[in-house]
């Protein structure tokens, strides 16, 4: 069966146009936020901290800062993108259109992942105004960033399918995702924690995502890069399974 590339490109273009209408806001927000993080963490706090595993603290927080922003942008864009058709009722037109669940998923998640990667690239460019950052494994960094963007946007897509109100769109990110990100070693190494709390932190899946991305920068992380890749692969499989279950059963596709 041939894929409906015309339908997919139409949805992708519509989602990217929505991003374009708020481009300057979407561009300036991560730049300003990055500057504030470096003023507070990089200068005020970092100047009082020693290097972490031989990496200056200002450079050490770059991967975590990029992940934090990509978490926020990827999840919010993907969840809002699929929730709006449900809210306006146009979801019925898409479900009756000659588009499979895979094609819908590729269009919406592809657009959200593109936005997340663009924002991540903007953050990476901005940090060079504050600190020198060298990437030990550039190809692995790009590949890991793309894989994480797709995985996070899949998770956001699930939130958008599940949510039945604008308030519910914010529940999971605000109460679960963001706390886990801050507790997942975004701005510190979990090796700095006492032994008991380090063991507890290893149950946080975000630790593996951030550690793997940090390894691509500095060749070291809180856990092995293989453990990080396995964690990302499992998260990706779980998200894909959940999405296809929703489309197969119709759970909350209709308000």
Structure tokens at 57: 């603290």
183-201 mean pLDDT: 89
Q: Using CB atoms within 10 A of its CB, is residue 6 exposed (0-12), middle (13-18) or buried (19+)?
A: exposed
CA dihedral 36, 41, 45, 46 (to 10 degrees): -120
Residue 255 lies in a domain: no
Q: Say yes or no to pLDDT of 94 above 70.
A: yes
88-100 mean pLDDT: 84
Give the residue, 238 or 187, on which the prediction is more confident.
Answer: 238
- Give the integer Cα–Cα distance in Å for 177 and 205: 10
Asked if 127 and 34 touch (Cβ cutoff 8 Å), the reply is yes
Give the pLDDT score at 73: 84
Asked if 94 and 104 touch (Cβ cutoff 8 Å), the reply is yes
27-32 mean pLDDT: 75
Give the pLDDT score at 147: 92
- Give the integer Cα–Cα distance in Å for 72 and 157: 13
Residue 202 lies in a domain: yes
Residue 61 lies in a domain: yes
Query: What percent of the chain lies above the pLDDT cut of 90?
Result: 37
Structure tokens at 38: 């470096």
Residue 219 C-beta-side C-alpha neighbours within 13 Å: 6
- Give the integer Cα–Cα distance in Å for 75 and 178: 11
* Relative orientation angle of helices 62-88 and 5-21, to the nearest 10 degrees: 110
Give the Cβ contact number of residue 90 at 10 Å. Answer: 11
Beta strands in the chain (DSSP E): none
Express each pLDDT in 209-229 by its tens digit: 999 999 999 999 999 999 999
Give the pLDDT score at 44: 65
Give the pLDDT score at 135: 93
Give the pLDDT score at 226: 92
Give the pLDDT score at 222: 92
User: With left for phi above 0 and alpha for psi between -120 and 50, is residue 219 left, alpha or beta?
Assistant: left
* DSSP string computed for 56-104: -HHHHTHHHHHHHHHHHHHHHHHHHHHHHHHHHTTHHHHHHSS--HHHH
- Identify the band that residue 72 occupies on the pLDDT scale cut at 50, 70 and 90: confident
Residue 97 lies in a domain: yes
Asked if 192 and 182 touch (Cβ cutoff 8 Å), the reply is no
* H or E stretch covering 251: none
Express each pLDDT in 116-166 by its tens digit: 999 889 889 888 888 888 899 999 999 999 999 999 999 999 999 999 888
State pTM to two decimals. Answer: 0.89
Number of structural domains the chain divides into? 1
Instruction: Please state, rounded to an integer, the average pLDDT across all residues of the chain.
Output: 86
Residue 254 lies in a domain: no
Give the pLDDT score at 208: 94
Q: Say yes or no to pLDDT of 29 above 80.
A: no
- Give the integer Cα–Cα distance in Å for 255 and 86: 7
Residue 236 lies in a domain: yes
Give the residue, 49 or 141, on which the prediction is more confident.
Answer: 141
- Identify the band that residue 230 occupies on the pLDDT scale cut at 50, 70 and 90: very high
Q: Say yes or no to pLDDT of 254 above 70.
A: no
Give the domain range for residue 13.
5-47+54-249
Q: Say yes or no to pLDDT of 255 above 60.
A: no
């Amino acid at each position: 069966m041939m894929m409906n590339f015309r339908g997919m490109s139409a949805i992708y273009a519509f989602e990217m146009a929505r991003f374009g209408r708020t481009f300057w806001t979407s561009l300036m927000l991560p730049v300003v936020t990055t500057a504030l993080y470096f003023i507070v963490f990089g200068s005020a706090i970092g100047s009082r901290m020693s290097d972490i595993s031989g990496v200056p603290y200002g450079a050490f927080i770059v991967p975590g800062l990029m992940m934090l922003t990509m978490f926020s942008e990827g999840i919010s864009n993907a969840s809002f993108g699929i929730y709006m058709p449900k809210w306006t009722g146009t979801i019925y037109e898409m479900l009756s259109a000659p588009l499979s669940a895979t094609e819908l998923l590729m269009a919406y998640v592809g657009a959200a992942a593109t936005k997340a990667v663009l924002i991540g690239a903007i953050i990476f460019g901005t940090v060079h105004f504050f600190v020198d950052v060298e990437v030990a494994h550039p190809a692995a960094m790009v590949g890991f960033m793309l894989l994480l963007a797709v995985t996070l946007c899949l998770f956001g897509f699930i939130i958008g399918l599940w949510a039945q109100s604008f308030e519910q769109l914010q529940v999971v990110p605000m109460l679960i995702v963001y706390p886990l990100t801050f507790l997942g070693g975004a701005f510190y190494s979990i090796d700095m924690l006492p032994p008991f709390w380090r063991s507890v932190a290893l149950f946080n899946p975000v630790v593996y995502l951030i550690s793997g991305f940090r390894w691509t920068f500095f060749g070291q992380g809180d856990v092995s890069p293989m453990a990080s890749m396995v964690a990302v692969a499992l998260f990706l499989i779980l998200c894909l399974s959940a999405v296809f279950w929703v489309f197969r059963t119709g759970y909350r596709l209709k308000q």
